[in-house]
Amino acid sequence: MSLSRRKFLIRSVQCIVACGILPGLSACDGPGRLQESKGRGYDDLVSRIGRERADIIWYASFAPSSHNVQPWTVTIKSPDKWIIGSAEDRWLNEIDPKNREMLLSIGAFIENMVTAARAYGFQVKTRVLARNPFDPELLSLELQNDERAEYPLQRMIERRTMRTGFKNEDIDPEDFSFLVGGEEGFSYFPPLSTQAAWLDEATIAATSQQVERENVQEELARWIRWSDADARKFRNGLTPEAMDITGLAGWYVRNFYGSDDVLAKDFRKATVERVKKQVAESAGWIIVTAEKSGLTALIETGRRFERMFLRAKDRSIGIHPMSQILEEKNFAEKAAAMLMLEKQPQLLLRVGYMRDYPSPVSLRMPLDDFTRVSIFPSMSVRTE
C-alpha cells in the first residue's frame, strides 16, 4: 500500500475515533470485567482468612477511582485486623498532586468494605491512622461478629460510571431524595440552571487547558490500556471501552494505538470533542460538597459519594464524575462561588436518566496485587 493511501486510512479511522462514530458496533470489546474465578490470590486468601472475609475484600475492589488506578492496599494483620493504605505507584501526581481524589476513592473502597462486612455479619470499627494523604497506612479496620444486615451486594458489581446515553430529563425530586438517602452535602442543578450551564462550559474549558499540559497527558498515557494484552496484564487503568471507544474504532485503537498517540494533537482534540458531546446530553449535575477538606473529611465524603452511587441504578440514573474543573487550579478556585455553594465542592457529577444501563466494563486487579497477609498463627475463622 502506498504511504499516502496508508496515511489516508489511518486518518479516516482516527476521524472515526475522534467523532465517536459507530457507537452501535460494540461486540467483542476487550477483556471482560469479571474473571471466571475471583482472580489470582482469592483461593489463597480464603485459606488464610475464610471465604466471607475474602469476599468482603473482593466486593470492596469494585469501588470507583480516578483513572481506575485502584489506589488501595489491604494488609491483613490478623483475620479481624486490617490496615488500608494506598500504593505510591498508583498515585496521580499530575492531576491529583494533593492525593485528594485518591482519598475520595479510598473512601468509596471503605464504604464497599464496611457495607459488605455488615452483610456478612460483621460490625467494622474504623480508625484513621494517617496524618497526611501521603502516609502509606491510612486506616485500621477491626471486624467484630454481629447480626447480618440485609444488603443487595450485587449493587457493587453492577455499579458503573456512565459517559454516554443520558436522557435530557430533570431528575425527579423523589428520585433525588432516594439517591442521597436523607444525607446532607448534595446539590442538584437541573440542565437549564445557570450553574449547570457554567459547569458544562467550564468543564470544556478546563479540559482544553488540561490536554495542553504535557505531564498530564503523559500520566494519562501510563494509565490507558490500549491493547487487550495490557488490559489482561494490569487489570486497572482505562481500556478503550471504558472510554467509550467501541466498535470498529475500539478494534483499531486496541490493535494499533500506543502511549505516544495520547500525546498526539489529534488525540487531545478528540478528548475535548468527546467532552463537548458528553456535557451536551446531560440532565444536569449533582455536586458533592464537604464541610472540611482534611484527610478524614475526604474519606468520609468518598464514603457518602459511594453510598449514593450504589443506589443510582435502582432508579436508572447514570453518574459521570467529571473532575477537570477541580483538577485545574484556576477553575477550582472559583467553583464554589460560581455554583453559589457555601461549602467546598469535592465531586462534580454529570447525572441523568439512562436510555439503557449497560453492564460495567472497567477492570479490577486480582486480590493478590493489593492484599498482603502478615504472618499470624492459623486460627479458626467462621466459614459461611
Distances (CA, A) of 68 to 71, 99, 125, 165, 168: 8, 14, 27, 21, 27
CB 322, min distance to ligand FMN, A: 5
321 in contact with ligand FMN (CB under 6 A) = yes
Phi, psi of 238 (to 5 degrees): -105, 125
Question: Does 288 help bind ligand FMN (rule: CB under 6 A)?
Answer: no
Q: Tell me which residue has cell 467529571.
A: 322
Compute the distance between CA of residue 98 and CA of residue 100 in angstroms, rounded to an integer: 5
Least distance in angstroms from the C-beta of 299 to ligand FMN: 12
Contact 135, 129 (CB under 8 A): yes
* Beta carbon nearer to ligand FMN, 289 or 324: 324
The CB-of-362 to ligand FMN minimum distance in angstroms stands at: 3
Q: Residue 87 is which amino acid?
A: A
Q: Is 61 in the site for ligand FMN (CB under 6 A)?
A: no
Output the nine-digit C-alpha cell for 184.
Answer: 446532607
Using CB under 6 A, which of 90, 118, 160, 274 touches ligand FMN? Answer: 160
Are the CB atoms for 317 and 352 separated by under 8 Å? yes
Find the Cα–Cα–Cα–Cα dihedral 317, 323, 324, 329, rounded to 10°: 150
Residue with Cβ nearer ligand FMN (114 or 242): 242
Q: Which is nearer to ligand FMN, 259 or 359 (CB)?
A: 359
Task: Give CA 194 to chain center in angstroms.
Answer: 27
- The 239-258 site mask, x for binding ligand FMN (CB under 6 A), equals ---x----------------
- Rounded Cα distance between 23 and 17, Å, is 10
Q: How far is the CB of 37 from ligand FMN (least distance, A)?
A: 20
* Contacts with ligand FMN, 339-378, as mask; x by CB under 6 A: ---------------------x-x----------------
| Pairing of the two strands 186-189 and 344-353 | unpaired
Residues 223 and 69 sit within 8 Å (Cβ to Cβ): yes
Q: How many CA atoms lie within 13 A of 29 on its CB side?
A: 23
Report how many helices (DSSP H) and strands (DSSP E) the chain contains, helices first: 15, 9
Query: Using CB under 6 A, which residues numbered 168 to 227 contact ligand FMN?
Result: none
> Measured from the CB of residue 315, what is the shortest distance to ligand FMN in angstroms?
17
CB nearer ligand FMN, residue 74 or residue 162: 162
Q: Does residue number 283 form part of the binding site for ligand FMN (CB under 6 A)? A: no
Nearest to 212 by CA among 326, 96, 99, 328: 328
Determine if 164 is a binding residue for ligand FMN (CB under 6 A): no
In the shown chain, the binding pattern of residues 16 to 55 toward ligand FMN, with x for contact by CB under 6 A and - for none, equals ----------------------------------------
User: Is position 313 an interface residue for ligand FMN (rule: CB under 6 A)?
Assistant: no
Our finding on whether 105 is near ligand FMN (CB under 6 A) is yes
Residue type, 337: A
Report the interface residues with ligand FMN, using CB under 6 A: 64-68, 101, 104-105, 108, 160-161, 163, 238, 242, 321-324, 360, 362
